[in-house]
Chains A and B, each alone.
Chain A
Amino acid sequence: MKKDKLLQGHKQIGKRFVTPMNQLPNFRSARYVDDMLPELIWVALMIDRIDYVPAARQFESFCKIAIDALDEQRSGFAFASTYGAASDDEKSELVRKLDAAGLLEDVRESIGPLNRLYPTSPLAFIGMAEAESDDCLFTMEDCVGRFINKHETPGIVLNGMILTSELITETISFSAEMDLPDFNSVLTDPDSDSAKHAGGFLRAHALSSFGFCELDSKWARDFWNRNLELYKCDFETSSHD
């Protein structure tokens, strides 16, 4: 019987075996939890508050207004740092247009905990609704816990919001002949093969889009380190201390 070759697809360079992905020229890996989740957490908060479909509509409306308000920006509308990098005028314009469209209070309600608890939130300029700090702590913890696994439905949907933003802002389009997965199955039949196919597609697309944006990691670092201040560790084992 022929033996399976170990580390198939890897390329030996000196004493290292390089993965197929790392052999790709200019490939830059992106980390979902470390870097992408802090950028997407504001969208996750929308979903957490009003559920998937209404949140998707709210997010679509937000993106349509944003592409109009942010003159220079043409991509990355799902990522918080995109808005943080906008000029003061663009930020004011975005707030004004959200208000005019009747969206501002709703968005503030959703992302309020983020702006209240994280002083360096890139979306701080949007402001916040009134809420108790304890509620905000609970809301954030619940939200992160729900969306932290990119293989479960909330995480897949969150990854999918990147594609949604690109379709709305017309920074991506698919040929009519292209055989796209059934994205609805992620919600309607999450355990199906179809949902797994769609989930894989959305995660892979999110990773490449995120890498393409080359966002500064400052906000991601701020977000996680702020959590160390806000929340206590939860250890399973006891130490000698």
Chain B
Amino acid sequence: MPALGGPLPKRETMTVATRFETLRLEGVKRDFGTFNALRGLDLTIKRGEFIALLGPSGCGKTTALNCIAGLLDVTGGRIMLDDRRVDTIRTEDRGFGMVFQNYALFPHMTVKRNVGFGLKMRGVPKAEIDRRVEAAIATVRLQGQGDKLPGQLSGGQQQRVAIARAIVIEPPLVLMDEPLSNLDAKLRLEMRGEIRRIHQSLGSTTIYVTHDQEEALSLADRIVVLRDGAIRQVGKPDELYSSPAHLDVADFMGYRNAVPGRVTGVEGDRVRIEVGDGASLLGRPMDGISSGPAVAMIRPDDLEPVAGEMGVPATVDTIEYRGREYHGLARTAGGKELIFRSSTPVARGAEVRLGADQDRVLVYPEPRP
């Protein structure tokens, strides 16, 4: 059945995205009145990549996704698919697949009709729709649920329908807007694996918006960290994990202990940061620091009590057993709270010195207020 009943060619041939090598955002801007939600994004995505747009709420990640999908117009810059400009094309003609945060399943259609909707709009013959819908439902492991309405499914099942609906049209680009945020922790973990599996089996390109760094680390080939509408860092998960380029990225990537101090010298490829009370730490210089006010960033997992004169002196406030090891909260003389781990129990009120491997201490310039 032709989608519009008119003499138009099949829509499948009309959509822009068939296969592409690169998707490029070139200075993409989006303003809402005087508010700049996106301040000129430059990003190149290669075919087959799984890209995570990561950032706190309000950083512009969903705006960026909506601009790529065509749900929002860009107010500056352009979006290129190889050498074709797509930001001027209507959403329905871009041919991307999208999974929405609340799934946006059509409540009046059965699972099969939801999944088959995109194919129907493309004028695909009925028999082929049935076959591809069956296959997509099998891909997301929802066999036997095809005739139910979305309201009769659990949250996880609805999520699978939303994914099936987006992938059944075999889009070259799949956009996902925090698809797991409405699920409970156990399902989230399960669906994460599913999404990764489906991405790999289809070989499509995926852009995945999330505020959960763990999700981004486990899923993505590359992570784009956004803040205030601008890109702060782009990198592979392990790069971002071990070497966040800026202080705020480090904070967002789980470096929860921030010890302020002053860089007093460079020792080889390390810098020494004095943190008060005559204590100092050696760490990796980040963001171009060589001297002056600085902050040492350390993950709770890397900070532990050390012997000798190195390390930050602190008093243990609380200590709790977490199975394999102990997690503790200690307070420095300056009142700074530090979270650390320990393989042996430490008494409350004990005086300890906390230190970390030089590779795991990142020293950033102190942010200007």
Q: Report if A and B associate in a common complex.
A: no
